Amino acid sequence: MSDYGTLQDRVRCKELLKLVKTPEQCVEYFKDGMNVGMSGFTPVGYPKVVPVALCDHVEKNNLQGKLKLNLFIGASIGAEVEDRMATLDMIDRRWPYQTGKELGKAINSGKIRMGDKHLSMFAQDLKFGFYTKDSGGGLDVAVIEASAITENGDIILSGAVGAANEVIDIADKIIVEINTGLPSFEGMHDIFMTDVPPYRQIIPITDAKQRIGTPWVPTDKSKIVAIVESKMPDNGRALRGTDPQAQAIADNIVDFFSAEVKAGRLPKNLLPLQSGVGSIANAVVGGLTTSPFEDLIVFTEVLQDTFLDFMDSGKCKYINCTSLSLSNEGFELWWKDFAKYKNMVLMRPQQISNNPEVIRRLGAIGMNTPLEFDIFA
């Protein structure tokens, strides 16, 4: 992929250019037992070159099990980072969500201590200091993938927000990977920082198109210790198709919505839609693409491949998410029509995208696929 501006163009706070380093030079910032936060949410927006350099260092110097980190990341990240770290015995604790095969094996065998948490609450609890209370309540190092740095030193994220804003807020040191191998995502984020009780205010979203924050993450630039250039693409999700059962479920959902509109319980353009990932979710979004409904709004966690067709069809007008959880094929389509999509998608922190307060106020229609359902409780 060709370059989209130089590192010097992307780092607009010129005093920070003196901090430009190679991935290998950043290895010195990591010590055994440290609490480390990273950006990323589903395999998008995560740092790539610094973690890989750290893995290379451990492997080359036979440090397996001798340099173990506690990892705090909004959700799963690329297998070339997380799974490799698990294989090299570099992870002690991991919060709050993961999907890596090798990581899962290490968790199930007891080698890695895994904690699960509602994703809207993870960011809050991270800021409270619950996870690192025995070592001051903060994070030692944050490794963040970014599109750019503003004139004031604030960080503009890439293809995901997740918990990156909280990670940046509580970290002692910040390493920023500027990805010049991808177009800049500047303008696609709405970063709203919540306070802790008793000072917390309402989250003032009454319309999915509403911006309530800033397009950058407020950053104390004095904490930035290194800026590293990256040109690596995201390692997208595997593409999942549909099957006759999934299609039948999708048809039933569209029929149900039609009946609710006819009965006057839903407006003609429904209410904001939330959809998960997988074959059934693909079928449902595909069904809405060919449905009679128009001017639809999505308020969800991740944007998956079928949402691209949904936007192309003209049926979907706007999407809120915290991450672009596309396949590699989906990313090709995304970049082809990036100029159009960037005006139709707004990325928010996971504390906002997954927040029950906002979801209830908007009346979002949640569509997810359980593995098993006990109707008798």
Tell me the backbone φ, ψ of residue 148, rounded to 5 degrees. -165, 170
What sign does the CA torsion over 63, 68, 72, 78 have? positive
Query: What's the CA gap between 115 and 274, in Å, rounded?
Result: 25
**Residue found under tokens 């039933």:** 252
Contacts with 283 (C-beta within 8 Å, 6 or more apart), sequence order:
242, 246, 247, 249, 250
Q: Select from 228, 48, 227 the least CA-distant residue to 153.
A: 227
Query: What's the CA gap between 22 and 42, in Å, rounded?
Result: 26
For the chain, where are the E strands, in sequence order? 35-38, 69-73, 91-95, 113-114, 139-149, 155-157, 171-179, 224-230, 273-275, 296-299, 302-303, 316-321, 323-324, 345-347, 365-367
Cβ atoms < 10 Å from Cβ of 170: 19
Query: What's the CA gap between 362 and 351, in Å, rounded?
Result: 16
- 3-state helix/strand/coil string of 248-279: HHHHHHHHHHHHHHHCCCCCCCCCCEEECCCH
Which of 24, 28, 301, 329 is flagged as catalytic?
Answer: 301
Query: Residue 371 carries which DSSP code?
Result: S
Catalytic status, residue 301: yes
* Cα 302 from chain centre: 8
Q: Determine the length of the chain.
A: 377
Q: Which run of H or of E encompasses 339?
A: helix 338-341
The catalytic site residues sit at 301
